[in-house]
Amino acid sequence: MVIRIPERWLTRECVDAAMGKPVRGSGIAVFRNDVIDRVFARAHPLFPVVFFSPIAVAALATSHRRAHALREVVAFFAGWLFLSLVEYGLHRFFFHREAPSSREGRVEAFLAHGYHHQYPLDRTRLVLPPLATVPLAIVVFALARGALGGMGDQVFAGILGGYVAYDTLHYLAHHARGRRGPVAWLRRYHMLHHHDRAPGRYGVSSPLWDLVFGTYAPVKARSRS
């Protein structure tokens, strides 16, 4: 189920971009109301690092038991791995789903992910706003604690760590300028996802699930179509 936003709430530039006539620049306003656009559709790219990293560390520190150290490490990386799978699944099956060719469908697809592909350098729209991520984090914590008990704290910390890594690496993929090392490789990998016409390379923080599900393509391989 997708909640459609009434077109009358959106700026003319946003609708035009959705219909294939984007305004040039690094970004545009999405909502006509400036407050709504700033609060519900923008976020500082450092917010996940500044807000969620201390929570992840606190979850690990307060639940640590020396006798269970190995189990805690396994639980933490299980949470991280789970987040990376969610990242891949959302990117491939939700953000890149085939939307209806109608006007409403094209606007919906643009708001879901098309904006990012059209304006990839807009720093304020690379991460979800706090009004979305904070309540979601509370729900995830409650589910992890309810299903796994005390071990849920380590799993939750791993999920937060994976999310912070995802947002950080996504930001670096678009704004870092280094040409060597793992981050530079991930940057090239993600840029090919943006610019290669062949679908694939849905992993942002890692190519792991691309390898598992057959959507991996080498960095040097480019579409000839």
Q: Out of 2-11, 84-93, 194-203, which region has the weakest mean confidence (pLDDT)?
A: 2-11
Q: Which letter, b or e, does each residue of 24-41 get, where b requires 16 or more Cβ atoms within 10 Å of its Cβ? A: eeebbbbbeeeeebeeeb
Confidence band (pLDDT; 50, 70, 90) for 65? confident
pTM of the model: 0.90
- pLDDT tens digits, 3-14: 678 999 999 999
38 pLDDT more than 50: yes
Residue range 78-83: average pLDDT? 97
pLDDT value of position 62 = 87
- pLDDT tens digits, 114-145: 999 999 999 999 999 999 999 999 999 999 99
Between 220 and 160, the more confident residue is 160
d(CA 115, CA 95): 11
pLDDT value of position 149 = 87
The reply to whether 25 falls in a domain is no
The reply to whether 158 falls in a domain is yes
169 pLDDT more than 60: yes
The reply to whether 66 falls in a domain is yes
Residues in the chain, how many? 225
Confidence band (pLDDT; 50, 70, 90) for 223? very low
Total structural domains in the chain? 1
186 pLDDT more than 70: yes
d(CA 66, CA 174): 40
The dihedral over CA atoms of 67, 164, 39, 37, expressed in degrees to the nearest 10, equals -160
Count Cβ atoms within 10 A of the Cβ of residue 179 and give its class: 0-12 exposed, 13-18 middle, 19 or more buried.
exposed
Query: Which residue range is the domain that position 196 belongs to?
Result: 46-101+111-213
Contact (CB, 8 A) for 75 and 154: yes
The reply to whether 38 falls in a domain is no
Confidence band (pLDDT; 50, 70, 90) for 225? very low
The reply to whether 224 falls in a domain is no
The reply to whether 139 falls in a domain is yes
Confidence band (pLDDT; 50, 70, 90) for 172? very high
Residues 6+ apart with CB under 8 A from 48: 127, 133, 163, 164, 167, 168
The reply to whether 184 falls in a domain is yes
The reply to whether 186 falls in a domain is yes
